[in-house]
A and B are shown apart, each in its own frame.
Chain A
Amino acid sequence: MKTLTPRNILRHELLGLRVKARPSKGDRVHVGEVVGETRNMLRILRDDGRIISLPKEAYFFEFQLPSNEKVLVDGKMLVGRPEERLKKRVRRW
């Protein structure tokens, strides 16, 4: 059942992963767990209890995989509805 690798994170489920979100411009870092996803946004449950919605395009996300690896992903690569991301969209990296 372990198929989550840094390579296929673009096609995988983000819900439930620990994440650190850093804006492309700015310095307000959010740390928490992914609890929701839409086409352009990621909802994160911050460690302080607040749920926050962040636009994917404007942030860099560092996900912690269950294998305890960390992957830094440009939010722009994550744009798309969760079920759409499953199909394809791997290319550069």
Chain B
Amino acid sequence: MRDYRRIALDRIARLMEFAKRHAVERPELAREAGKLVLRIARKARVRIPIRYKRFICRKCGTPFYIPGSFTVRVRDRRSTHVVIRCKTCGYIKRIPAIREKRAKSKTK
């Protein structure tokens, strides 16, 4: 009964693979796959593995493999962070980058 969670994780991995493959030529298919990832994670109550979480919009499911689907900026105002903005739904995701900045100044 509990192995539906394992199946869910495998399905998410498979779907992201599918999205990556079809993102360029058929973005609608990739978008549907992204939406399915959210639905499955919700249904199975599993956390999306972080390596996929960063590549999919949390709100609308658009995978970032689709060219031109998001903009990336690096901002230094409040703190050093990366801003990713989904062009489909306007959702903004921020990833803090202070550790990376510190590591960089150390290596200098």
Contact = CB atoms under 8 A, between A and B. Distances in A.
Contacts of A84: 43
A82 B6 contact: no
A87 B45 CA distance: 11
Interface string A34-67: 0110000000000000000000000000000000
B7 A3 contact: yes
B7 A8 contact: yes
Contact of A15 (B7, B33, B39): B33
B24 to A, nearest CB: 14
A83 B39 contact: yes
Given A36-B29, A82-B36, A13 B15 contact: yes
Contact of B29 (A11, A35, A88): A35
Interface of B is mostly: helix
Contacts of B36: 15, 82-83
B18 A15 contact: yes
A80 interface: no
A3 B18 contact: no
B8 A86 contact: yes
Interface string B1-44: 00110111111011101100110001001001100100110111
A50 B17 CA distance: 21
A72 interface: no
A8 B8 CA distance: 12
A15 B43 contact: no
17 contacts: A1-B9, A1-B10, A3-B3, A3-B6, A12-B10, A13-B10, A13-B15, A15-B18, A16-B14, A16-B15, A35-B22, A36-B29, A36-B32, A83-B42, A86-B4, A86-B44, A87-B4
Interface of A: 1-4, 8, 11-13, 15-16, 35-36, 82-84, 86-88
Given A1-B9, A86-B7, A86-B43, 5 more contacts: A11-B7, A13-B15, A15-B15, A16-B15, A84-B43
